[in-house]
Amino acid sequence: MEGISLAPQVLFYIKSFPVTNSFFWAVFLSLFLIIMHLIIRIRLKEIPGRLQNAFEVLIDGSYSLVKSVMENDKKAKKALPLIFTLFIFIMMANLATFIPGQSAISIKTPNGNVPLFRAIMADYSLIFIMTMISVITTQIVAIFVYGPFGYIFKFINIKELKNFFLELLKGRLKLGLLGQGFLDLFLGLMDIVGEIAKIISLSFRLFGNIFAGEVLGAVFLFLAPFIAPLPMQFLGLLTAIVQAFVFSILTLIFIKMAGDIGPEEVNS
Amino acid sequence: MELINVLGLDIKILIAQFVNFAIFFFVLYKFAYKPILKFLDDRKDKIENGIINAEKAEQKLLEIEDNEKKIIENAKIEAKNISKDIIDKATIFAEDKKVKMIEKAKQEIKTLIDQEKGSIEIQKAQTIKEIKREIADIVIASLEKIIDKKLNKEELTKTIKEISKE
């Protein structure tokens, strides 16, 4: 058994750019999915064929799900492409690991023997990028909804403190407002932590699941190559789809939450 | 920072992954999801319209069927009325004609009878006249025989004639 590494291994270099096995397959999968989508797009018919039918079921189901979360037709249409892209990309990447015989092939590189295939989602850099896209999209939606200043003051909440000092200038000492002000400030700052935690929780959930699945599969294959890995494979199949679903649906919920205006904000 | 190395986070790869994913997303968004969603929406509208139209058509058909039934019923009633009218008129006409014909026949019969009666009367009168004359002749003959030549023949005839006239 080759050493298990958290990082994808470098296959070859294009000039100084290291092409890792995960990255290579990510590009390959992207191209494959683009071509598939274009084929479906070009062959769109009023009476759907088999491929189009399957795709329609998928996209229609996603659309109704996104709509039920966003509670708005227009918003759902805006959110759907990103959510669906994430979903189908992660799902196909995960399912691609089930193509048999992958782990058997490795190529010789200056860094030693490197497996040609590696689960695309077992590459933290890609997951990190996707997570960043998800979280930054969330922030952009929040800025659009609250406005730039509203967005900043959502995290640095000094409204009540300001009220306290205004009251103090008028000669009234309201300790309740002071307490409320500090609490709001603290909660606002905690929100920043929450946003950062999102990045970590979202990315490591997916990465951990897929990477663990890979490692587990490899270990089982090493210990008991026949039949024993099968249950793990079935679980892996479940994980592959569930994790894709979880990642995209969490992104959707973040976007939805960012776009929601709480009752206090509506009043002010 | 060791974690970054272990995870294989390289700024070059990160940028490459971002570009890759961005292009992937952009292409799918621009050339696949947008048109596909639009297509699905259009088709949904089309199907909805189709269903609504079909419903409308069905309703209209029902209405038309209803109207048809009404028209047929009206026609039936009218036809009945007309035929009844015609029959009534015909009956009345026939009755009229019958009555008239009977009347005419009666009249004719009456005239015939009258004529017959007249001729019978005349015949009767003639017969009576003849009978009278014959009786008179017989009486004269018998009287001639009885009286014989005692009385003037001319006077006697005159007297008998007077008597028979009475």
State the nearest Cα–Cα gap between A6 and chain B, in angstroms: 5
**Residue ranges of domains in chain A:** 10-267
- Interface-testing mutation among B14, B36, B42, B49, with chain A (most A C-beta atoms within 10 A): B36
Distance (Å, whole) CA A125 – CA A23: 9
CA quadruple A64, A70, A75, A81: dihedral, nearest 10: -50
What is the model's pLDDT at position A242? Answer: 92
Q: Looking at the partner chain, which of B10, B21, B27 has a beta carbon nearest the beta carbon of A18?
A: B10
Strand A10-14 and strand A17-20: pairing?
Answer: antiparallel
Give tens-digit pLDDT for A113-152: 777 788 888 888 888 888 998 889 888 888 888 888 888 8
Q: Does B17 touch chain A (CB under 8 A)?
A: yes
Question: What's phi and psi for A114, nearest 5 deg?
Answer: -125, 130
ipTM: 0.78
Q: Indicate whether B4 pLDDT > 70.
A: yes
How many Cα atoms occupy the beta-carbon half-sphere of A55 within 13 Å? 22
Contacts of A34 in chain B (CB under 8 A): 24, 27-28, 32
Cβ-Cβ pairs closer than 8 A, A with B, add up to 105
| Whether B9 and A125 lie within 8 Å, measured CB to CB | yes
Instruction: Tell me whether residue A126 is exposed, middle or buried, using C-beta atoms within 10 angstroms of its C-beta: 0 to 12, 13 to 18, 19 or more.
Output: buried
* Bridge partners, B151 (sequence order): none
What is the model's pLDDT at position A266? Answer: 43
Contact criterion met (CB below 8 Å) for A248 and A137: no
Contacts of B12 in chain A (CB under 8 A): 16-18
Residue A121: which of A37, A247, A224 has the closest Cα? A247
What is the model's pLDDT at position B54? Answer: 93
Give tens-digit pLDDT for B151-165: 667 777 777 788 777
| Whether A6 and B8 lie within 8 Å, measured CB to CB | yes
Residue reference for tokens 């996603």: A62
Contacts of B43 in chain A (CB under 8 A): 46
In chain B, the residue whose alpha carbon lies closest to the alpha carbon of A28 is B20
How many Cα atoms occupy the beta-carbon half-sphere of A45 within 13 Å? 8
Average pLDDT over residues B140-145: 78
Q: Indicate whether B148 pLDDT > 70.
A: no
Average pLDDT over residues B74-96: 92
Contacts of A6 in chain B (CB under 8 A): 6-8
Contacts of B14 in chain A (CB under 8 A): 125, 128-129
Contacts of A48 in chain B (CB under 8 A): none
Contacts of B35 in chain A (CB under 8 A): 41, 44
Residue B136: count other Cβ atoms within 10 Å of its Cβ.
Answer: 16
How many Cα atoms occupy the beta-carbon half-sphere of A153 within 13 Å? 12
Contacts of A63 in chain B (CB under 8 A): 37, 40
C-alpha pair distances (Å), A167 with each of A156, A159, A178, A264, A267: 20, 12, 10, 21, 21
Distance (Å, whole) CA A260 – CA A265: 10
Residue A213: which of A95, A114, A133, A134 has the closest Cα? A95
Contact criterion met (CB below 8 Å) for A87 and A232: no
Would you give per-residue pLDDT tens digits along chain A (268 residues)? 456 777 777 777 777 778 888 888 888 888 998 998 888 888 888 777 788 888 888 888 888 898 898 888 888 888 888 888 899 899 988 888 888 777 777 777 777 777 778 888 888 888 888 899 888 988 888 888 888 888 888 888 887 788 888 888 887 777 778 888 888 888 888 888 988 898 889 888 988 888 888 888 888 878 887 887 788 888 888 888 999 999 999 999 888 888 776 544 444 3
Contacts of B29 in chain A (CB under 8 A): 81-82, 85
What is the model's pLDDT at position B97? Answer: 92
| Whether A33 and B24 lie within 8 Å, measured CB to CB | yes
A246: tokens are 């979880």
Q: Indicate whether B14 pLDDT > 80.
A: yes
Q: Does B26 touch chain A (CB under 8 A)?
A: no
Q: Where are the beta strands (DSSP E) in chain B?
A: none
What is the model's pLDDT at position A59? Answer: 86
| Whether A125 and B27 lie within 8 Å, measured CB to CB | no
Give tens-digit pLDDT for B40-59: 888 888 889 999 999 999 99
Average pLDDT over residues B118-123: 89
Q: Looking at the partner chain, which of B9, B29, B46 has a beta carbon nearest the beta carbon of A124?
A: B9
In chain A, the residue whose alpha carbon lies closest to the alpha carbon of B16 is A23
A125: tokens are 């850099």
Q: Looking at the partner chain, which of A16, A33, A125 has a beta carbon nearest the beta carbon of B17?
A: A125
Q: Indicate whether B7 pLDDT > 50.
A: yes
State the nearest Cα–Cα gap between A136 and chain B, in angstroms: 13
Q: Is the pTM of this model over 0.80?
A: no
**Cβ-based neighbours of A5, under 8 Å, separated by 6 or more:** B8
Q: Does B16 touch chain A (CB under 8 A)?
A: yes
Percentage with pLDDT > 90 across chain B:
39
What is the model's pLDDT at position A3? Answer: 62
